[in-house]
Amino acid sequence: MKKEIFKIAIMSLVAALMFIATPETASAQVSKKLEKKLQKEKDKEYKKKIKEYQKEGWKLTGSSRTLEVALLEHYYKLAESAQNKEMAGEVSQCKSINVCKQFALNNAQNNYAAKASGNIKGRTESLLRADANMPETEIDKFMSAYENIIKQEVGGVLTESYSIIKDNGSTKEYKTIFILNEEKAVQARAKALEKSLLETKITIKEAEEISKFVNEGFNIE
């Protein structure tokens, strides 16, 4: 009788434990399924990108790695942090590798600066025009200074992941794929804001509002 009672107690305990563990187990199973699905999508993206590069005649440059390894490492860097974003710089016609490389960096800087400036332009202009004493020239001066300064600042937070080149005979096409860390990019935008404000007559209150716009993230693709 005691053995039967003991057996029933054990079975009840196991059932209780199973009941408690089931939601966690189910959640873990869902997570694994999602992870597998995500991995499949990444694998598809990787294979598609490799085929695209090979079909178009792109080759890795400036590295002893293979293009396949460079791309795998790039995706690993992106997966390391949600703050890591991909940004490309490219040039359609150039001759020497060094010139191609510099033009690609300049292109990435210019694109980022244009997007960063465009992200705050409308709201900033509306804010400053609400001040009747704010000359239109000061608004233009601020926006121009911000975009120009951020080109310089963002160069310090763009990390080259890999570069590819296509030989078109007399000229070359060149692309550099960068990793941009959003936390560092916010700091770069803040520095650009600080420097551009020194060149204008914008008040502290207006500057605080503009700072909120600058700290917001935006799509760089």
DSSP string, 197-215: HTTS---HHHHHHHHHHHH
Q: What CA–CA distance (Å, rounded) separates 147 from 27?
A: 46
Model pTM? 0.79
Higher per-residue pLDDT: 129 or 36 = 129
The pLDDT confidence band at residue 175, using thresholds 50, 70 and 90, is very high
Percent of the chain with pLDDT over 70: 82
Which stretches within 64-221 are classed as H helix? 67-80, 97-129, 136-154, 182-197, 204-215
Q: Which residues pair with 62 in a beta bridge?
A: none
pLDDT for the residue 94: 92
Say if residue 196's pLDDT is above 60: yes
Say if residue 26's pLDDT is above 80: no
Q: What CA–CA distance (Å, rounded) separates 54 from 166?
A: 10
Name the least confident of 19-23, 89-93, 152-156. Answer: 19-23
Domain range annotation of the chain: 40-215
Q: What CA–CA distance (Å, rounded) separates 167 from 165?
A: 7
pLDDT for the residue 35: 57
Q: What CA–CA distance (Å, rounded) separates 221 from 112?
A: 9
